[in-house]
Structure 1
Amino acid sequence: MTGTDDLAARLRSGDRRALARAITLVESGRADHRAAALDLLAALPDPEDCLKIGLSGTPGVGKSTFIESFGLMLTGQGHRVAVLAVDPSSARSGGSILGDKTRMEHLSRDPAAFIRPSPSQSELGGVARRTREAAQLCAAAGYDVVLIETVGVGQSETQVAHMTDLFLLLLAPAGGDELQGVKRGIMEIADIILVNKADGDLRPQALRTCADYAGALRLLRKRPQDPEGFPKAMCVSAIETTGLETAWQEIRTLHRKRRESGWLARSRADQAVHWFEEEVRQALLARLRREPVRGLMADLARRVERGEETPAAAARLLIERMLGPGAPADP
């Protein structure tokens, strides 16, 4: 049995250390590690019964508190929960800055939960490049709910929709200008909006905020894959744990309807194609950084800087040098 086969067998048995080691392997940038990671992923098909949930929200909205309360509720019901928390990266070392295990103290000690902070490594979309593969490993290890927490809310956060089955947007009680700060793009992909901190003095404001978002969602175009009533806005309190069970029931209802209609299978197939194309793009960019192309790219960059070439003309010249005359330069 090869090392990869042994790691796959241990991971399938639910070995947490094997899972941590496997995620480290897929996140590695070394060529030999990447080859081993591809062998490992090929030996571990992605289970269909794992529910992958994306979660985003503005900083300070209480994402970590919500995940801990929500995760503890799910493990209490017999589920196994994995949390992939994508942290902002250090510009110098590339490592994680925050470290979500310190912010989910109780959930991190739960034997039915697994928390893995990953550096975003300056990736657009708020998710690390290998987060999708890490989620596949968690599913193969027997975790039936995988929560992917992104760095923060923004237009580029929509990337998480390409690796999850449904998307939660967590917001704080707000009004007026604060409501305008939430981008339409992320509103359009949100399946359920959860207004957190609906407790104490903030509860009346949370209810008003929830009503405002519910009205905004009704103005968006109806999505054909969703049953009546979705997307929707709901109030929750991560501290008082109120509304979490109702939110979970709505998540299960939406997931079941999408599976029964066949939309879920089509969505996962489309996601696979998306990540295939993303791998091609990343591989081509990597080639551009190598010699002899790197020297040509640097020379063209200097010519653009001096105004001797336009950016578009320089890009076409580089593409033609790589792929031959007549190669399309436009995406």
Structure 2
Amino acid sequence: MQDITPDDLTTRAGLARAITWVESKRADHQDKAQHLLAQCMPKTGHARRIGITGVPGVGKSTFIDNFGSMLLEQGFKVAVLAVDPTSKRSGGSILGDKTRMEHLSMNPNAFIRPSPAGETLGGVAKKTRETLLLCEAAGYDVILVETVGVGQSETVVADMVDLFLVLMLPNAGDELQGIKKGVLEVADMIAVNKSDLDEKAAKNAARHYRNALHILTPVDPSWDPTVSTISAGKNRGLLELWSVMEAHKKATIESGSHSKRRSEQQLRWMESLIGESLMQAFQQHPNVQTALPPLRNDVASGDIAASLAAKKLLSLFMAHPTH
């Protein structure tokens, strides 16, 4: 495969090829991807990174399509990335979303990329982070990172963006409709979508979310999370939502928390990659591979303490390096 330079990323075809390297498990592709990323780093860091999540049926695809199209009309270049650790079927939810984002998918200033299906959460997150950097180097101004998983994927996405938006429904019985406290804790903004279906219910839901947010510690000390009512399908409230996002950017940059947030995200990412690499090396160590099955059986049967088994395995790993 021909080498790719940062200049090649200016075309969607070149960017797609570079992301294929990032996603590949081949050692030579990974080496090329890391070399390209190193060249791209000076061109990264300037885009708006916005995370988006929501319960099934909340209208994420319509929101991203219409919100992204509005940004395109304002002259921005928009990339949409997805983290989906739960789908192992090609043509799953995000691939379907790509076909439903009709306006974005046809616009040359937009780029949509689903995460590889069937990967572990950590693997998907790693590829999404690197894809995000490539999109920034390619000149995209706004990166929308969508999570279609439930649970841990929300916090993973929140840890790679500047602002995390949670979309909610206006009338789903219980106003907190299964959204876990952990998701609200990482929310910078909540938007009650489809408010045109029942405006009274949307306002009631918004009030409940504001009350819930008041008892939680804000993600950022310089920003109190906001709650809005919108109707993405009717293009209502989207411009106002962007204005709130602009206010968030201004407040966090002035307070210094924007740069601090990004720095802390980078350090946590580095530590995570070190942990993943160490675990991979540990599991591939020949002595560990030999000793692990019987020790697993002994731990499962209660014949040996888990702490002692772990100590034995780590001793084998550290006492007999493979390199």
TM-score by length of 1: 0.88
> 2:46 maps to what in 1?
49
Check conservation: 1:125, 1:157, Cα contact below 8 A. no
Percent identical: 45
The question of 1:299 aligning with 2:294 is answered yes
Alignment partner, residue 194 of structure 2: 197
Query: Contact (CA 8 Å) 1:126, 1:156: kept in 2 or not?
Result: no
Corresponding position of 1:134? 131
- Deviation of the 1:305 alpha carbon: 3.0
What is the letter of the counterpart of residue 173 of structure 1? P
Aligned to 2:167: 170
Correspondences of 1:1-331 after superposition (within 5 Å) = 3-4=2-3, 6-11=4-9, 14-45=10-41, 46-88=43-85, 91=88, 95=90, 97-98=92-93, 99=95, 100-119=97-116, 121-124=118-121, 128-174=125-171, 177-179=174-176, 181-200=178-197, 202-222=198-218, 225-227=221-223, 230-292=224-286, 293-324=288-319
**Cα contact 1:89–1:97 (8 A) shared by 2:** no
What is the deviation of 1:265? 1.2
Q: 1:301 & 1:96 partners in 2: Cα distance?
A: 37
Q: CA deviation at 1:53?
A: 0.5
State whether residues 173 and 205 of structure 1, in contact with CA within 8 Å, keep that contact through their aligned partners in structure 2.
Answer: yes
Go from structure 1 to structure 2 and tell me whether the alpha carbon gap of 1:23 and 1:256 turns closer, same or farther (over 3 Å shift). same
Query: Whole-Å Cα distance in 2 between the matches of residues 31 and 317 of structure 1?
Result: 31
SS in 2 for 1:56: strand
Does the aligned pair in 2 maintain the 1:165–1:264 contact within 8 Å?
yes
Distance 2:175 2:150 in 1: 13
Supply the RMSD in Å over aligned alpha carbons.
2.3
**Aligned amino acid, residue 294 of structure 2:** D
CA contact (8 A) 2:76 2:142 kept: yes
Work out whether residues 127 and 151 of structure 1, in 8 Å CA contact, stay in contact via their aligned partners in 2. Answer: no
Q: For residues 3 and 122 of structure 1, what CA distance do their matches in structure 2 show?
A: 26
- Mean alpha-carbon deviation: is it higher for 215-224 or for 252-261? 215-224
Task: Name the structure with the higher helix share.
Answer: 2
The one-letter code of the counterpart of 1:141 is A
The alignment partner of 2:232 has SS state of: coil
- State the secondary structure of the residue aligned to 2:53: strand
* Partners of 1:161 and 1:189 within 8 A in 2: yes
Q: Deviations over 1:116-161 (max 9, x none)?
A: 1113534347954310110000010000000000123425521112
Distance 2:39 2:153 in 1: 32
Q: Go from structure 1 to structure 2 and tell me whether the alpha carbon gap of 1:173 and 1:122 turns closer, same or farther (over 3 Å shift).
A: farther
Unaligned runs of 5+ in 1: 326-331
Whichever residue aligns with residue 208 of structure 1, its letter is N
Q: Counterpart amino acid of 1:213?
A: Y
- What SS is found at the alignment partner of 1:36? helix
